[in-house]
Structure 1
Amino acid sequence: MDDPIDQLRDAATGHLSAGRVQPAIAAYEALLRVTPGVPDDWFNLAYLQRENRDFQAALASYGRALALGATGPEEIHLNRAVILAENLRREDDAMAELARALALAPRFLPALVNLGNLHERRGERARAQERYEQALAVEPGHALALSRLANLRRFHSPDDVLIQRLRQALQVRGRHPSEHADLAYALGKALDDAGAYDDAFAAYLHANQAARFSHGRTPLRYDREAHERLVDALIRQSLQPAPPSVAGESAPPVFVCGMFRSGSTLLEQILGSHPDVTPGGEIDLLPALAREHLLPRLAQPDRPLPAELAEAMRHEYRSGIAARFPDATLLTDKRPDNFLFIGLLKQLFPTAKILHTRRAVLDNCLSVFFLHLGPAMAYSLDLADIAHWYRQYRRLMGHWQSLYGEDIHDVDYDALVADPRPQIGAALRHCGLGWNNACLDFHASKSSVATPSNWQVRQPLYQRSSGRWRNYERHLGALRDALAGLVDD
């Protein structure tokens, strides 16, 4: 007869291997009640708890693994740091965990690069550069460290030494496509800074092609028909009766959304300079709730959201916000692609105010093509796909504005950078806030910024990104054709 402990462990590892998170958690908890002294079991439980978004429990389980002498403790400190920084917004604690990792393993590259990234978020350019250089001293061709180093500054000549380092790194054989992508996006940015636009566009083409093959054997593909069906279903679902709201409930955050690269980070940085506003950044709570509870229901869009489910979702959202921002009065939730779920957020929070950022169409689409957005956004890898996504975005936003127009305020990026005060004032009034001069000095804010626009929003307003598409006009014929009727030169 099999040993009962072996049976428990086999069940736990089986669920873990199969990706069955909830049964795996239950199995590991049962196993650890019997044999609480095995550090690898605590490590596996911590991983599962993180997947289940139970972040405090994951931190505690990683802590038990450390206390029991788990091998590779520097990796556990790194995992704890990621949870603290990304999921709980406790950046000081995350830095302390990374320092512990480096005390154990001074050449541990992931800790060096992550520490550099945290310094970047805080606007600490010199400290970030120091960490990336330390990583490159350990591994001179480290793709992510080299690409992050290039993003720390502007370039004035295509002959810059760092541009040559990027070119040389791209010639190294055997690199993973994700490394090629990191390096090529950074090279494109550097050449764009230097005014070498044709070479920059070639680099971005290389970057997007590499990114397409950087997440497994199957190349990333944007399914246009599937996305159209999603937009259709979101529209249908939003027309169902909304569940009742809870009387006397406190005001929800202000939601800032729109296309990626449409100025949402800039707007949040401006609003966050107001003394009554806490900038939340790209909070993942609404998309997570949508994936878990809304999207599975879209196959039967005639089913309204049950009141009990809506209340559970409201509670989960508010609990997540409270854990990350316990002292916030008015919070901004700036997740650009939350525009997909405006119907859901208005069903959960009927009084919610939305700031919708917009930008000149060609500039917006080109800027998306120049950004490494990740595997969930395969549309960003091809200009024609970006144009299709953009058309669907405009279709969906038109629907939301027909339903909730009074609660949605458009903020035009190009008007904002050209004449900021009236645009800022209108956005503040939409949020129920009065004017504060600090909003004009947003670039001096010490708030953390965790998006690719980090360094741009730490500068005074500039207009050089408006009309940027003209630098690439010779490459954009197909994009202009795909956007016919939407482009206003």
Structure 2
Amino acid sequence: MSDTPDTRIATLRTLLAADPDRPDDWYDLGLLLKRARRYEEALEAYAEALKRNVERPEEVWLNRAVIHAEALGDPEQAAAELEKAIALNPNYASAWLNLGNLNEDRGAREEARRAYAKARAADPQDAMALMRLAEVTTFKSVDDPMIAGMRQMAAHPSVPAIGRADLNFTLGKVLDALEEYDAAWEAYAAGNAATIEMAKGPYDERAVEKEIDGLIETFGDRGDPAPPSETAPIFILGMFRSGSTLAERILAAHSAVTAGGELEHLPALIGDHLQPYPKAAAGLDALRHAELREAYLAGVRRQKFPLAGLTDKRPDNFLHIGLIKRLFPSAKIVHTVRDPMDNGLSIYFAHLHPSMRYAQRLESIAHWYRHYERLMDHWRGLYGDDILDFSYDALVADPKPQIRRLLDFLDLPFEDACLRPHAVTGVVRTASSWQVREPLYRRSSGRWHNYEQQLAPLREALGRG
């Protein structure tokens, strides 16, 4: 029998059925079920581990909190379980960090700052704790001791690449806000260099070109879509850092819309049912597309979201518009766009996962951008009436007509609340969570001019002279 996650889960269940008083095995079962996205079962396994007096129960409460926060969309329950972890171990830095993240997500800056300060006190050598504390601190001067502390820790030879990346990206953000642009660029460059160290190989231009070719070939026409459904999510997508979070917040202010955030359901569906992708998606009939749609909807129901008016905001879903439209033929696509120079700068300044290998070098950002444009041109050729290019720059220059255009596209009546996306309450779990809580502003439009000299390779690679 092959050693797969399912077989390991089955083996542990057999073992525990015969001898249930094995708390460590209940804990391991919880981990496996979580990775398999069987979240309710994972919570039950963790509960058994706790009932049977597992060692370091605070770790179990933390793992349960992560499921509630990230998979089940229940930040209140996540916070309650983190409090249980902290009650057991007041110096548990990871629990304090996660509690700080939850407070950030809901816009509670001071509560987040206190939690991060506790994490920092619990582990003064933790780069993440210092970075997160700095993220929620307002700096008045480049001479602030915390800035010196970040520089010192980032330069220490014992700090691993992830810590150096964390610290340098935050340093860059702080120095940029203080208008110390040359120093900010140096910090961001160091952060990207550290991220490259963690990547499993360099950015592969040819592989990217083949990936886009494969998508265009597989989804060369409309295919045999699932039967139309009464409702479909609103898919918000585009390049990272192109304004997708702001678009979702504008819609979240509308009485008929529910913000889903960065839902995992489409990538999970592809990973579980359509490998190798996109080849496995070729030639499917309407019945199979309907079955795949049901797999997506099962995830929505698990999170207790309504489908009508639900937004699914994952920027990189631009890769999957062909699949989206075969599962949900009536789906509307909000494609966020932004000046390519500002977009490229913002990607370079974003602390993205090392697997996003295009993001750490200006030339690879430009290469990825050009092929993203090629793919979007293909999707427009197939589904142009159902795709709205929603411009961040036009929005911040003159919000009302752009918001009205967005709502008209979605067949929603205009509501004045959509002009005040910063007033929307609720969880925001993206890198721009603080920016979208401010009133609409224009300072990020044209921001690239602060770094015009450093961005020459990007401008040249984009063919902009």
Same topology, TM > 0.5: yes
Match of 1:105 in 2: 89
Query: 1:340 is matched with which residue: 300, 315, 319?
Result: 319
Contact 2:242 2:392 in 1 (8 A): yes
One-letter amino acid of the structure 1 residue matched with residue 104 of structure 2: E
**Cα deviation, residue 243, structure 1:** 3.2
Query: 2:427 is matched with which residue: 438, 448, 469?
Result: 448
**Cα deviation, residue 297, structure 1:** 4.8
Whole-Å separation in 2 of the counterparts to 1:220 and 1:81: 33
Match of 2:198 in 1: 214
Match of 2:78 in 1: 94
Post-superposition Cα deviations, 1:343-387, rounded to whole Å, max 9, x if no partner, equal 001010000001000000010011001111102211111111111
- Match status 1:261 vs 2:241: yes
Match of 1:7 in 2: none
One-letter amino acid of the structure 1 residue matched with residue 462 of structure 2: L
Post-superposition Cα deviations, 1:134-160, rounded to whole Å, max 9, x if no partner, equal 111122242112111222245443223
One-letter amino acid of the structure 2 residue matched with residue 179 of structure 1: G
- Per mean C-alpha deviation after superposition, the further-off stretch among 52-61 and 120-129 is 52-61
- Match status 1:250 vs 2:234: no
Equivalent positions of 1:3-402 (< 5 A) are 15=3, 20-214=4-198, 219-239=200-220, 242-246=223-227, 249-299=229-279, 303-327=282-306, 329-402=308-381
Whole-Å separation in 1 of the counterparts to 2:221 and 2:35: 31
- Per mean C-alpha deviation after superposition, the further-off stretch among 97-106 and 30-39 is 30-39
1:330–1:76 distance in 2 versus 1, CA, 3 Å:
same
One-letter amino acid of the structure 2 residue matched with residue 120 of structure 1: E
How high is the sequence identity, in percent, across the aligned residues? Answer: 46
Whole-Å separation in 2 of the counterparts to 1:186 and 1:297: 35
Contact 1:258 1:264 in 2 (8 A): yes
- Per mean C-alpha deviation after superposition, the further-off stretch among 155-164 and 133-142 is 155-164
Gaps of 5+ in 1: 1-10
Tell me, what secondary structure is at the counterpart of 1:107?
coil
Match of 1:409 in 2: 388
Contact 2:232 2:308 in 1 (8 A): no
Whole-Å separation in 2 of the counterparts to 1:421 and 1:182: 37
Give the alignment's Cα RMSD to 1 decimal. Answer: 1.7
One-letter amino acid of the structure 2 residue matched with residue 208 of structure 1: N
One-letter amino acid of the structure 2 residue matched with residue 312 of structure 1: E
Contact 1:220 1:375 in 2 (8 A): no
Match of 1:434 in 2: 413
Whole-Å separation in 2 of the counterparts to 1:437 and 1:205: 42
Query: 1:425 is matched with which residue: 404, 407, 410?
Result: 404
Whole-Å separation in 1 of the counterparts to 2:277 and 2:306: 35
TM-score normalised per structure 1: 0.92
Tell me, what secondary structure is at the counterpart of 2:55?
coil
Whole-Å separation in 2 of the counterparts to 1:425 and 1:295: 40
One-letter amino acid of the structure 1 residue matched with residue 213 of structure 2: D
Post-superposition Cα deviations, 1:39-97, rounded to whole Å, max 9, x if no partner, equal 12211111111111111111111111111111111001111111110111110010011
Whole-Å separation in 1 of the counterparts to 2:329 and 2:129: 44
Contact 2:240 2:315 in 1 (8 A): yes
Whole-Å separation in 2 of the counterparts to 1:85 and 1:362: 34
- Give the count of matched residue pairs: 465
Post-superposition Cα deviations, 1:298-336, rounded to whole Å, max 9, x if no partner, equal 3477x4124443222111111111221334641100000
Whole-Å separation in 2 of the counterparts to 1:22 and 1:309: 23
Contact 2:336 2:389 in 1 (8 A): yes
Moved over 4 A (4+): none
1:32–1:133 distance in 2 versus 1, CA, 3 Å:
same
- Per mean C-alpha deviation after superposition, the further-off stretch among 128-137 and 289-298 is 289-298
One-letter amino acid of the structure 2 residue matched with residue 227 of structure 1: V
Contact 2:227 2:329 in 1 (8 A): no
